[in-house]
Amino acid sequence: MENIAAVVLAAGKGTRMKSGIVKVLHPAAGRPMITWPVDAARLAGAAPIVLVVGHQANAVSNTFRGADDILCAMQEEQLGTGHAVACAKGALQGFNGTVLILCGDTPLLRGETLRELIAFHRGQEAVLTVLTARMDDPHGYGRVVRDQSGQVLAIVEQKDATPEQQAITEINSGIYCMESDFLFSNISSISSNNAQNEFYLTDLLSIAVNKGLTCLARCIADADEIMGVNDRGQLAMASTILRQRINHELMCSGVSMIDPGHTYIDHGVAIGPDTIIHPNCTIGGNTVIGSNCTIEGSVTIDSCQIGNDCHIKAGSVLESSELQDDVTVGPMAHLRSGTVLQDHVKIGNFVETKKAVMGKGSKASHLTYLGDAEIGSDVNIGCGTITCNYDGVKKHRTVIGDNVFIGSDVQLVAPVTVGSNSLVAAGTTVTKNVPQDSLAIARVPQVNKEGWRLKKK
């Protein structure tokens, strides 16, 4: 397909969202709602894509900053869908071809549906084709009135429909395919002579019918695709459907999910085959998970790179971290931004890391904080150990060499270095560097006062 452009209507505020954020920027399955119809237009071959912006115009346009195929047109006042499309006319100056008109609040729309719409539109040599669906309960939607040959005669809004027209179950999605010469030569003819004093895009249909031009409707099987999001309840419904699609694709690629209905994976997450995801997991951002991993229940993973054969145990939280192969984390561990765990590392329960690099085979099995630390290979970190990385003004690093044994309840007061093959005794507070091959002990000698308890009585 060639010579396809798209106009995406995204100027409205969305008052029913009850939000300080414009409606089309609310996230659906991990990304702003407007990115879904834009991607659908791209998959259909549209370029350029014109965003008609109004409320929070800069924020909407910045969502696509750097995208060569995106243009923006300003709609200062929101005076209806016809007025919005008219605002895009200048951005498409000189374009000659087929124009898709989409809504920025329809995140369920698929690119393949738009490709089929364009092929049908062009194959029938129509000037205007509207995307429609059939609903068991069409209440509130505009009804599509056809003649006996299937051509569209009118789109009648619910409040204006006769009882016979209200019985029609085919409804208007607000998504159109039009030829540019017809669209832009007639868009200025639309009148605002109606109860709302707005310019309605559906009036173009009446203009085309009166001119004897071919107007068609393409009815899709899945009415969910044209669902518009107007409030947070509908946003939740749309996000649920998007995640069902994501989960289905992942399972088809070899990922196992114990309970897909309670597994929350955002768009853009990649997971390898033979990985098992347990219920109540939330995985988002640009996360990549390798093959043959196990992600136990109630785990949260955001923007992490996870290798093969890893095991993330229940209740753990991972943020912007890198795990290489055969790494075990948790349960109830917290990996904060900047954590790097090399092959065969073990992070146990109630361990927190931040900007910590752990070498191959090292482990911190429980109740430990490792922040701003560089830890070598085959290091054992005992229970209750902490790196004291903050002096109240600045953060400082702790460096631990290879084959070091850190006993329980050790405090490493940074900046400090522990040399390779050293041992730090339990209860030690390390305030100065430890040479390699050394034993470091810094604690008060034990004093036993015999009979003291009897004297107290």
Instruction: Flag whether the pTM goes above 0.85.
Output: yes
- The CATH class given to the 4-226 domain equals alpha beta
b/e 243-258 (16+ beta carbons within 10 angstroms → b) = beebbeebeeeebebe
Residues contributing to the annotated binding site for acetyl-CoA: 389-390, 408, 426, 443
What does the pLDDT read at residue 226? 94
pLDDT lower than 50: segments of the chain: none
What does the pLDDT read at residue 415? 97
What does the pLDDT read at residue 386? 98
Question: Could you confirm whether 366 is annotated as catalytic?
Answer: yes
What does the pLDDT read at residue 200? 84
Catalytic residue, chosen from 248, 267, 366, 396, is 366
Q: Give long-range contacts, CB 8 A cutoff, 24+ apart: 187-196.
A: 187/82, 187/85, 187/86, 187/89, 188/86, 190/82, 190/83, 190/86, 192/79, 192/80, 196/80
Write down the residue that tokens 């090399």 correspond to: 342
Work out the number of other CB atoms within 10 angstroms of the CB of residue 73: 21
For residue 60, how far is the Cα from the chain centroid?
16
Cα–Cα distance measured from residue 308 to residue 273, given in angstroms and rounded to the nearest whole number: 10
Residues contributing to the annotated binding site for Mg(2+): 105, 230
What does the pLDDT read at residue 195? 65
Q: Where in the chain is the domain with CATH 2.160.10.10?
A: 253-440
Residues contributing to the annotated binding site: 9-12, 23, 75, 80-81, 105, 142, 157, 172, 230, 336, 354, 369, 380, 389-390, 408, 426, 443
Q: Where in the chain is the domain with CATH 3.90.550.10?
A: 4-226
User: CATH classification of 253-440, choosing from 2.160.10.10, 3.90.1660.10, 3.40.50.2300, 3.30.450.30?
Assistant: 2.160.10.10
What does the pLDDT read at residue 1? 55
- Pairing state between β 31-32 and 27-28: antiparallel
Residues contributing to the annotated binding site for UDP-N-acetyl-alpha-D-glucosamine: 9-12, 23, 75, 80-81, 142, 157, 172, 230, 336, 354, 369, 380
Nearest to 270 by CA among 63, 254, 278: 254
Kindly state the percentage of the chain with pLDDT values over 70: 98
Cα–Cα distance measured from residue 5 to residue 294, given in angstroms and rounded to the nearest whole number: 44
Residues 6+ apart with CB under 8 A from 119: 1
Nearest to 331 by CA among 321, 317, 345, 310: 317
